[in-house]
Amino acid sequence: MKAPILETPRLRIPRLGLGTWALRGAEAQRAVEGALGLGYRHIDTAAMYGNEEAVGAGLAASGLKREDIFLTTKVWWTDLAPDALRASAEASLKRLATPYADLVLIHWPAKGMDLAASLGALQRLKADGLARAVGVSNFPPGLLRRALGLGIAEIAALQVECHVYLWQEPLAALCREHGLALTAYSPVAKASVNDDPVMRAIAAKHGGSPVQVALAWLLAQENLVAIPKSGRMEGQRDNLAACSLTLDAADMAAIAALPKDRRLVNPEFAPDWAA
């Protein structure tokens, strides 16, 4: 089974991918190779994850052609000056053992960053063939609007925390308006959906799991991509099966009634989310 494809003016991306945050070494390599064997074609990593070499080894061991895999990596917020951004991206590609990434993102904005300069460096990665597409992650609405308004980089995607307890409509609306893919990280709210009676009831109705329901809800949204992490083949298979789960109007209404302001990822260097 393979995930459906989202096509936007600047991107063609599988709507369900494998997140690799916190997977390291041999575990990360096995997870990537196993996921690709199951039918995944979208792998998400980052310089900060410390697993790019293992991810690259998993890609190589899969036996798939590079052009058949969508690969995302990210530049950390301490490396956003143009020279540092370029060096970080080149180092990522070296660790991943690939000549290009399908998508390179600014991982987090930095306070006081020279946004125009960073976006210019990001766009040069695309122009020089190191990235097929570029984008940003963890940008609040005002900063994303500013980045888009500058017109410096062909921003194709935004990656943010998004799940049944955190729906970010201002960002989703900007993505719809500008044709961006919205990639949801922590899409199953760190598995807390498993303890939710509403999610459990919907899962029982469909013969699935709360995690599958959470992913199906995201995939029912416009321009949405989800990247759940799982190092276990069983979990990867279950996540991929969510692509074939269709929620009805009653399910969608029940999930809509859940709180939508439960942020789980909020480090000290995070931006002002309301800005």
Per-residue b/e over 129-147, b at no fewer than 16 CB within 10 Å?
ebbbbbbbbbbbbebbbeb
Residue with tokens 């997870």: 31
Select which of 49, 100, 165, 185 is catalytic. 49
Element of type H or E holding 30: helix 25-38
Per-residue b/e over 35-61, b at no fewer than 16 CB within 10 Å?
bbeeebbbbbbbbbbebbbbbbbbbbe
Tokens of 28: 């990360």
Residue 100 known to be catalytic: no
Helix/strand/coil for 45: coil
| CA–CA distance, 135 with 166 (Å, rounded to integer) | 21
The catalytic residues are 49
